[in-house]
């Protein structure tokens, strides 16, 4: 299975990059499964139903979220009728929506997509390890799903790395989101799970983690906020990770970072070159 995970889409600029670039990647790379983290897609904070549908129409098969899941209040309602919108599985009991979903892929297979959120330097939600463990045990790789992808939304690299090894051999891909800075540690772990600490953001990199630079710099200088953060509106770079799995095991055979756009050095999965 050919999988593309797209890192946090930030604001209008990030959405424009997805709408422009993703349909061509689906076609050119013959992608089977596309997952997009959309928790910053609406003005940098949250997601709306219209944006959710826009990302699906561009080629996404599932949309994951994170700590900004409910910044757009309508998400608390429309998530119940959005089966491919997945919020962190370890949110408090009774939270609307779902933390995992079995998704029909473009090639007729089925993929389990799980979203978790870390607790280090973040709000203290329920234990993500036990929550994700339950989902992996309930829908085992190859027995019930042809692929398993875990989006772990966290601040601490150590917690993300721990989750990678915790899931090794039970997931096709464990990828970190949230910090908006792509890491260079993409690799296949000893038991066959593809891993990357952070997929980076899909947004304007001439910014401070996707936000217009003036207010964040001012807050560091002043020590207090003077205005709200606004997403940067320059040309965006699509950032993420590409993985190819083995059909027999569901585990990863190859992994490569994806960066398409200005500012960062562009990189592609050469093993899918046409």
Residues assigned a catalytic role: 68
Judge whether 18 and 51 are in contact, CB under 8 Å. Answer: no
| Residue that is written with structure tokens 């992808």 in the block | 149
Judge whether 258 and 18 are in contact, CB under 8 Å. Answer: no
Q: DSSP for 1-50, please give it.
A: -EEEEE-EEBHHHHHHHHHHHHHHHHHHTT-SEEEEE-TBTTTTS---HH
For residue 13, what are its two tokens? Answer: 């600029």
For residue 12, what are its two tokens? Answer: 């209008």
- In the sheet with 252-260, reading across from the earlier edge strand, the strands are 85-86, 62-64, 33-37, 2-6, 238-245, 252-260
State how far the Cα of 72 lies from the Cα of 42, in Å rounded to an integer.
8
């Amino acid at each position: 299975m050919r999988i593309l995970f797209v890192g946090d889409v930030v604001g209008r600029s990030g959405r424009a990059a997805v709408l422009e670039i993703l349909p061509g990647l689906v076609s050119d790379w013959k992608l089977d499964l596309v997952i997009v983290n959309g928790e910053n897609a609406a003005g940098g904070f949250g997601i709306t139903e219209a944006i959710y549908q826009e990302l699906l129409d561009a080629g996404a098969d599932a949309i994951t979220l994170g700590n900004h899941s409910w910044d757009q209040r309508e998400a608390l309602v429309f998530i119940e009728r959005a089966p491919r919108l997945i919020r962190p599985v370890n949110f408090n009991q009774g939270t609307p929506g779902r933390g995992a979903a079995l998704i029909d892929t473009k090639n007729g297979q089925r993929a389990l997509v799980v979203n978790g959120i870390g607790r280090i330097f973040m709000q203290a939600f329920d234990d993500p390890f036990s929550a994700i463990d339950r989902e992996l045990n309930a829908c085992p790789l190859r027995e019930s799903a042809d692929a398993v992808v875990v989006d772990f939304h966290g601040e601490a690299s150590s917690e993300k790395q721990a989750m990678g090894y915790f899931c090794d051999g039970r997931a096709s891909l464990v990828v970190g989101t949230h910090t908006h800075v792509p890491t260079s540690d993409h690799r296949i772990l000893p038991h066959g799970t593809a891993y990357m600490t952070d997929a980076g953001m899909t947004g304007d990199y001439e910014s401070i983690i996707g936000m217009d630079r003036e207010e964040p710099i001012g807050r560091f200088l002043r020590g207090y906020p003077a205005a709200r953060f606004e997403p940067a509106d320059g040309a965006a770079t699509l950032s993420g990770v590409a993985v190819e799995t083995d059909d027999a095991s569901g585990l990863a055979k190859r992994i490569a970072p994806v960066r398409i756009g200005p500012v960062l050095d562009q990189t592609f999965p050469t093993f899918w070159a046409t």
